[in-house]
Every structure is written in C-alpha cells, then in structure tokens.
Amino acid sequence: MRVLVVGASRGTGAELVAELVERGHVVTAYSRQPGTHPEGVRTVTGDVLDADALGKAMVGQDAVAVTLGIPDNPFRVRLTGRASSRLDVRSAGTRAVLDAMREHGVRRLVVQSTYGIGATYRHLPLALKAFFSLAIRPQVDDHERQEQMVRESGLDWTIVRPTVLHDEPTDRPAHVSTGDRLPTMKVSRRQVARVEADALEDAARASQVLSVTAAA
C-alpha cells in the first residue's frame, strides 16, 4: 500500500512512518520540516496548506494519515496566542488534505485527534479536564472542528484518539476501544502508530472512532 503521512517530521507521525515501513508499505512523509526517517521513505518538505505541493504528494497514494499538531509548549501558546504552526493547523490542514484526496480519488483516511474530545471529555481525570479548559482550549476547539469535517467528508475515515502521549518504547499492545471508558491515561507514541497502521490496513475500521491507551 502507498501511504501519505501528513505531519510526519516528529512525534507520532514519525513513528507511524517507521511502523509502516517495517510492514512493507511505500511511504511518503510530508511535513514543513524534514524529519529523520528509514531508508526508502520519500520525503516531501512542504506546508500542508500549499495545495500544489500537497496535490503532487497525493498522486498515486492509496491512503492518507494525518498527524498534524502544534509542537510548542501549550502554556506558552495559551499565554502568547502564538505558535510555530498556525493555531488552527489541525482543522485547516485536514481540510486541505480532504480537498486533495477528493481531487485525486484517494478514499482511505486515518486522522489522529485526542482523547477528551466530544463525549470522552467527561471521563477525563480532573487534572486533565483543567488542562483542556485552561491550557489547550483553542487546540481542543480545533480538534472538534477537525473531527466534524472528517465525519462529514464522505471518505473512508477512521479517527484515532490517544490519551496522554509519551516517547518510551514498548512492545506491549495498546488498549483500543470504540467506547469512551479507558483503563489508563497514558500511551506510547509507537503504540498509537501501530494502531494507526492497523487501521490503515483494515477496511473494517472505516467510520470508527478509536480510543487508544496503554493497557492496565
């Protein structure tokens, strides 16, 4: 399968690129800054809002994964209203991806959101509820817009909602649920990448929202 990963330079996006390569897929890594990827990965440096660059990267793809985000400290972003990425990068970037997918006839889409969006908010611990409300409210609102447009896209989408991400490596499988209640509130980025790769490979996951965390 040929997969375009948008937002691939770091974090879960970079982990997803590595996971897909290990599984034998042909991967294009698309991001504003070049990341470090396994040999054989096609790297495209470009802004997700550059329709021409994104369209060229979309040609010939079988599926797309969107792992867009803001890498800056969330408290600094909240206080200053500024970040290295535009504050609505998730929704604006996803809209651009959807447009390019429709133009080039690509239907399979996996989008990374976050646990705590929508009905899952009520299951967050009190400290995380405060963090969502006080520190990352604009990002939460942008995730809401992002998820809505994905659901309304008419494409074969899957939304993945991880809990609090960390970088520690682990071979343990993640806990994946289509429900709202989860046993823990932390998950490795590589665990999330495996779930996203599974979803890309499994057409039965279309139109599902997957909550992902570490097993208890």
- Which of 35-39, 161-165, 185-189 is the least confident region? 35-39
* Residue-number span of the structural domain to which 65 is assigned: 2-214
Q: How far is CA 124 from CA 74, 120, 138, 161, 185, in A?
A: 18, 7, 18, 13, 8
Average pLDDT over the chain, rounded to an integer: 93
Over residues 94-106, the mean pLDDT reads: 98
**Structure confidence at residue 27 (pLDDT):** 98
Question: Residue 208: beta bridge partners?
Answer: 158
Angle in degrees, CA 33, 35, 37, rounded to 5: 155
Q: Name the one residue in this structure whose structure tokens are 């959101």.
A: 113
**pLDDT for residue 116 is more than 80:** yes
**Structure confidence at residue 51 (pLDDT):** 97
**Structure confidence at residue 84 (pLDDT):** 62
**Structure confidence at residue 137 (pLDDT):** 87
Q: How many separate domains does the chain show?
A: 1
**pLDDT for residue 59 is more than 60:** yes
What CATH number is associated with residue 86? 3.40.50.720
**Structure confidence at residue 79 (pLDDT):** 60
User: 78 pLDDT band (50/70/90 cuts)?
Assistant: low
- Which of 36-40, 151-155, 187-191 is the least confident region? 36-40
C-alpha span between 187 and 115 (Å, rounded)? 11
User: 33 pLDDT band (50/70/90 cuts)?
Assistant: confident
Tell me the per-residue pLDDT of 121-144, one tens digit each, with 9 for 90 and over: 999 999 999 999 888 888 899 999
**pLDDT for residue 81 is more than 80:** no
C-alpha span between 150 and 152 (Å, rounded)? 5
C-alpha span between 125 and 116 (Å, rounded)? 10
**Structure confidence at residue 177 (pLDDT):** 96
Task: Report the percent of the chain where pLDDT is more than 70.
Answer: 93
Over residues 54-81, the mean pLDDT reads: 81
Contact 158, 150 (CB under 8 A): no
Higher pLDDT, 179 or 145: 145
Over residues 178-204, the mean pLDDT reads: 96
